[in-house]
Amino acid sequence: CGPKYHYHGKNSETTNTDLIILKVASLIHSGKTVAIKGVGGYHLCCDALNEHAVSMLRRRKQRDAKPFAVMFRDTETAEEYCFLDGKEKEELSSWRRPVVIARSKKKLAPAVGSGLSNTGAMLPYTPFHYMMFEALSTPAVVMTSGNISDEPVITDDAEAVQKLGAVADAIVSYNREIINRADDSVVRFSCGLPSLIRRSRGYVPQPVCLSWPVEGILATGAEQKNSFCLGKGKQAIMSQYIGDMTGTEVYDFFIESVERFRKLFHFTPSVIACDLHSDYLSSQYAAKLSAELDVPLVKVQHHHAHIVSCMAEKGLDEPVIGVSLDGTGLGTDNTIWGGEFFLATLSDYTRCISFDPVPLPGGDRAVKEPWRTACSYLLKYFGEDFDFMSVPSLATIEEDRIRKLCEMVKADVNSPVSSGAGRLFDAVSALLGLCMYQTFDSEAPMRLESVVEGGTDDHYPYDIDKKVMFGSTFRAILADLGTKNASYIAAKFHNTVAGVILDASMLLRKEFSVGTVILSGGVFQNSYLLEKSSYLLSRNGFSVFTNNMVPANDGGIALGQLVTASKSRK
């Protein structure tokens, strides 16, 4: 009386479950890809030990380098391939069955992780998964979202045949409709606690219990890694991961999910909160809905929302030192913020210290091409006479392109100014030759963290007052390039940023007599930086908090918007 499965191959179809399992196993053994309907959407599956199979999946899915999640046969197999401590093992095998980011131990096919030092591990969680592994000889399969590029995961059977037919060699569906689309959740452990990177299947719609009423507030979240949030009584109900709202498919999914949550929770907004950036689709939707329903619209600054998201889940209602490090967020001065030190409460904030802003030549293109940001930092601190070709990684770029880039910055043409911490990590990653062109979000910082092997407490010099100046940092990095390896330089750089966080916090504690520090923003998904910063702050008498129940990245923004709207409107 369970669901009835259907196999749709290139030359055959069947509804015999035993035969379907054998056909799927045969395809995977022969290096093929199968699209399998799961709980919240389709997955694409192939042998994680077969380099040809994984590379072929990458080409077909149009996913150049972003790491794939891997489903292992059981916990024992996962431990063969990953270093797992007790808490990671417990979370991996919990009923939520998330993807757990763990340090790699035994090699899978190189194309699975694209050179990164971690593996996204998961275990079977549907009967079909268990039956499939009974027939498989391989102990591990790639299990990645069934979609093309950045579109939402596919849930509809007809759409799966149409779109995934070009990616997969067979499609396995069943006769039950997926009502609520949901990706796999992703968790990483830092400081001994789980940090959600993607909050979706298994964690949603479990509410975040608050100490303040938030009834009737709808928060629409950010542009990237979007999730929204609605308030019922003293509970914040976060949506599943929606995605990057840069295309119509994701935006349609967002609207569909908002309407479903409104019906499911019998919710009618009386206040709507959104990001300060009016060009975000989430903000435009909020403004439109606010006008339609004739209810107040509250705009919340991006980095303040990051800080409040952590305060909310920890139940803090007091002045704090808010350290918000991410890539992009509109500031009140209409520049791009992202390396921010606030004195913050739930309703308001003061921007006290920030990273020294740098032009981003080409705007969004600088995010996709980190070498541009590296050149901009060098131009800022060492002038146009600097010999860019003396840097080995930059010597791979045509000299004329760098010259034109410098002219663009000097003429202030398409070079918005940014204090984003993510761009600083991009620049250092490019200087080390780790990532000159990003093929997925945060690739440059991830590759920079991936080469860190620890073993040093050394750090680079910097200057800090109202701005954190990195001129001496870059000078010292350039001096190390010829004599030190990438692992040492990367560790030393991470230690430098942790030192900046400590010094800035000590300056603000001295000025405002506040000893609680909040660490939030996407940069704090970096385990090494989070653990180093937390250790230094705790050792110096600070109480330190970071996000655990909702993502520190933009996936947690909506919670901060919700609580700030509640507090600011009393």
Total-model pTM: 0.95
pLDDT at residue number 151? 87
Pair 220, 272: CB distance under 8 Å: yes
One pLDDT digit (tens) per residue for the chain, 570 residues: 778 999 999 889 999 999 999 999 999 999 999 999 999 999 999 999 999 999 999 999 988 889 999 999 999 999 999 999 999 999 999 999 999 999 999 999 999 999 999 999 999 999 999 999 999 999 999 999 999 877 899 999 999 999 999 999 999 999 999 999 999 999 999 999 999 999 999 999 999 999 999 999 999 999 999 999 999 999 999 999 999 998 899 999 999 999 999 999 999 999 999 999 999 999 999 999 999 999 999 999 999 999 999 999 999 999 999 999 999 999 999 999 999 999 999 999 999 999 999 999 999 999 999 999 999 999 999 999 999 999 999 999 999 999 999 999 999 999 999 999 999 999 999 999 999 999 999 999 999 999 998 789 999 999 999 999 999 999 999 999 989 999 999 999 999 999 999 999 999 999 999 999 999 999 999 999 999 999 999 999 999 999 999 999 999 999 999 999 999 887
Give the whole-angstrom CA distance, residue 387 versus residue 96: 53
What pLDDT is stored for residue 37 in this prediction?
Answer: 97
pLDDT at 292: 97
Q: Give the DSSP letter string of 425-439.
A: HHHHHHHTTS-SS-S
Q: Which two tokens stand for residue 343?
A: 């004195």
Residue 455 burial (10 A CB sphere; 0-12, 13-18, 19+): exposed
Torsion 526-530-536-537 (CA) sign: positive
The whole-number pLDDT of residue 570 equals: 74
* Amino acid, res. 233: G
Structure tokens at 551: 């993502």
pLDDT at 217: 98
Q: Residues 6 or more apart from 226 whose CB is under 8 A from it?
A: 241, 242, 243, 244, 245, 250, 254, 282, 554, 555
CA dist., res. 97 & res. 202, Å (int): 7
